[in-house]
Amino acid sequence: MRTQVGIIGAGPAGLLLAQLLAVRGIDSVVLENRSRDYVQARIRAGILEQGTVDLLTEAGVGERLHREGLRHDGIYLQRPGHREHLDFPGLCGRSVWAYGQTQVVKDLIDARLAAGQRIEFEISDTTLHDLDTDRPRVTYTDRAGFPQVLECDVVAGCDGYHGPSRRMLPPDLQQTWARDYPFAWLGILADVAPSTDELIYAWHPDGFALHSMRSPSVSRLYLQVDPHESLESWSDDRIWSELSHRLAFEDWQLQTGPITERSITPMRSFVSAPMRHGRLFLAGDAAHIVPPTGAKGLNLAVADVALLCEALAALLLHRRSELADAYSDAALRRVWRATHFSWWMTSMLHSTGDPFESQLQLSQLRYVTSSPAAAQSLAENYTGMPLH
Binding site for ligand FAD (CB under 6 A): 8-14, 31-34, 39, 44-45, 101, 126, 158-160, 162-164, 265, 284-285, 292, 295-298, 301
Taking the complex as a whole, how short is the minimal distance between the CB of residue 240 and ligand DHB, in angstroms?
18
Closest CA to 27 of 128, 92, 118: 118
242 touches, from ligand FAD, ligand DHB, none (C-beta below 5 to 8 Å by class): none
Residue 155 burial by Cβ neighbours in a 10 Å radius (0-12, 13-18, 19+): buried
Region 39-68 residues binding ligand DHB, contact defined as CB under 6 A? 45-47
Taking the complex as a whole, how short is the minimal distance between the CB of residue 137 and ligand FAD, in angstroms?
14
Region 295-324 residues binding ligand DHB, contact defined as CB under 6 A? 295
How many CA within 13 A on the CB side of residue 289?
20
Note whether 220 binds ligand DHB by CB under 6 A: yes
Nearer to ligand DHB by Cβ, of 299 and 328: the residue is: 299
Residue 181 catalytic? no
Nearer to ligand DHB by Cβ, of 112 and 214: the residue is: 214
Note whether 12 binds ligand DHB by CB under 6 A: no
Interacting span for ligand DHB (CB under 6 A) from 118-126, 268-276, 289-297, 348-356:
289-297
Among residues 76, 140, 222, 382, which one is catalytic? 382
Q: Which of 293, 346, 361, 369 binds ligand DHB (CB under 6 A)?
A: 293
51 touches, from ligand DHB, ligand FAD, none (C-beta below 5 to 8 Å by class): none
Q: Which of 292, 304, 307, 375 binds ligand DHB (CB under 6 A)?
A: 292
Nearer to ligand FAD by Cβ, of 174 and 263: the residue is: 263
Q: Which residue is nearest to ligand DHB (CB)?
A: 46
Residue 12 catalytic? no
Residue 292 catalytic? yes
Rounded Cα–Cα distance for residues 308 and 47 (Å):
22
Q: 31, 150 in Cβ contact below 8 A?
A: yes
Nearer to ligand FAD by Cβ, of 265 and 358: the residue is: 265
Where do runs of H (alpha helix) occur along 154-259?
236-247
Note whether 74 binds ligand DHB by CB under 6 A: no
Taking the complex as a whole, how short is the minimal distance between the CB of residue 363 and ligand FAD, in angstroms?
26
Note whether 212 binds ligand DHB by CB under 6 A: yes
What are the φ and ψ backbone dihedral angles of 384, each rounded to 5 degrees? 105, 125
Closest CA to 283 of 314, 268, 305, 299: 305
Region 178-207 residues binding ligand DHB, contact defined as CB under 6 A? 199
Nearer to ligand DHB by Cβ, of 40 and 117: the residue is: 40
Q: Three-state secondary structure along 7-60?
A: EECCCHHHHHHHHHHHHCCCCEEEECCCCHHHHHHCCCCCEEEHHHHHHHHHCC
- DSSP state string for 303-360: HHHHHHHHHHHHHHHH---HHHHHHHHHHHHHHHHHHHHHHHHHHHHS--S-HHHHHH
10 touches, from ligand DHB, ligand FAD, none (C-beta below 5 to 8 Å by class): ligand FAD
Q: 231, 264 in Cβ contact below 8 A?
A: yes
220 touches, from ligand FAD, ligand DHB, none (C-beta below 5 to 8 Å by class): ligand DHB
Dihedral sign for Cα atoms in the order 295, 87, 80, 368: positive
- Report which secondary-structure segment, H or E, holds 109: helix 101-114
Q: Three-state secondary structure along 234-255?
A: CCHHHHHHHHHHHHCECCECCC
Residue 106 catalytic? no
Amino acid symbol at 164: P
Among residues 106, 296, 327, 350, which one is catalytic? 296
What are the φ and ψ backbone dihedral angles of 299, each rounded to 5 degrees? -65, -35
8 touches, from ligand DHB, ligand FAD, none (C-beta below 5 to 8 Å by class): ligand FAD
Strand 200-202 and strand 74-79: pairing? Answer: parallel
Q: Cα 103–381–272 angle (5° rounding)? A: 75
Among residues 99, 201, 222, 327, which one is catalytic? 201
Nearer to ligand DHB by Cβ, of 154 and 295: the residue is: 295
Among residues 12, 72, 136, 277, which one is catalytic? 72
List, edge to edge, every strand of the sheet that includes 124-129. 124-129, 137-141, 147-151
Please report, as ranges, the residues that interact with ligand DHB according to CB under 6 A.
45-47, 199, 212, 220, 292-293, 295
Catalytic residues: 72, 201, 292, 296, 382
